[in-house]
Amino acid sequence: MTKFRLESADAVSETLMIPLHARALEQQQPEPLVRDPIAAEIVERIDYPWHRIRVNRHDLAAMMVRLREVDRMARAFLAEHPAATVVHIGCGLDARFQRLDNGQVRWFDLDLPEVIALRRHVLPESERDRYLGCSVFDPQWMDAVDAAGAGPFLFLAEAVLTYFDESQVKGLVIGLQRRFPGAEVVTDGATPLTVRLDNWHLAFTGSAARIRWGLTDPRDVEAWSPGIRLLESFYYFEQPEPRLGLLRWWRHVPAISRGSGIHHYRLT
């Protein structure tokens, strides 16, 4: 079997291997929180030192809960708008389109050119799942989506925007609001305290990437521009997954219980 390698010097790009490895490991659980058999197939086709990725059972459960909840929010949107256009920002090697495809959705997977090049080898695009190889901060991808897609629009950004400065994230969100009024955005965010803890964990796993955007309160994003509205927030410890084990007790510590969440906005 021919194996492919990610040819990138970008530390953030390489972080895509962590959730991919986690999704493959999850399929070995008796009752996976997310069923994604494609992940294990992709891992087999990539030349990468997988032994360097250290994922304990709590990390695995947390990543799968995040994946499950972003999928849930996307499914709810598609239940209301089955022929919508979805853009998966920082898609990495996630088979989210394959998990959520309802036979009508128009989908775009967006990531850096070298990531998309690898993705084309291991998970080819299709008629309703098109690939965009460029930075999320390069407006040319919006031109492609605007030309080929039709609203309503949903933008998914899981485990990607936190790696950039707040000014960059703010500029992107306002740009989406202007270009796609009425669109919705689902992204994850962490408080400054949790950012410090997450960066310590990244260092422990051997990753050179670091989280830079901290969000004290998800409603702070509403102040970026009139018309931005928070629709929903999910916090890991409000309805803790049993597989989180003793970490579930963090729900009793206010500074931690809402330290990391998934937030759904409408850009009216």
Distance separating alpha carbons of residues 169 and 176, to the nearest angstrom = 11
pLDDT tens series, the chain, 268 aa: 789 998 876 777 788 999 999 999 999 999 999 999 999 999 999 999 998 888 889 889 999 999 999 999 999 999 999 999 999 999 999 999 999 999 999 999 999 999 999 999 999 999 999 999 999 999 999 999 999 868 899 999 999 999 999 999 999 999 999 999 999 999 999 998 888 888 887 777 677 888 999 999 999 999 999 999 999 999 988 877 888 887 777 777 777 778 889 999 999 9
Residues in the chain: 268
- CA atoms within 13 A of residue 215's CA, in its CB half-sphere: 27
Give the tens place of pLDDT for each residue, 72-115. 999 999 999 999 999 999 999 999 999 999 999 999 999 999 99
Task: Determine how many CB atoms are found less than 10 A away from the CB of residue 219.
Answer: 14
Distance separating alpha carbons of residues 187 and 69, to the nearest angstrom = 11
Query: Bridge-partner residues for 248, per DSSP?
Result: none
DSSP label at 209? -
Distance separating alpha carbons of residues 252 and 258, to the nearest angstrom = 10
Q: Would you call 236 helix, strand, or coil by DSSP?
A: coil
Tokens of 115: 């990531």
Burial 79-90 (b: 16+ CB within 10 A, else e): eebeebbbbbbb
Query: Bridge-partner residues for 46, per DSSP?
Result: 4
State the distance between the two ends of the chain, measured CA to CA, in whole angstroms.
Answer: 49
CA torsion angle for 198, 49, 32, 246 (degrees, to 10)?
Answer: -40
Strands 153-157 and 129-133: unpaired
Strands 260-267 and 228-235: antiparallel
Domains and CATH numbers, the chain: 11-267 (3.40.50.150)
Is 20 in contact with 42 (CB distance < 8 Å)? yes
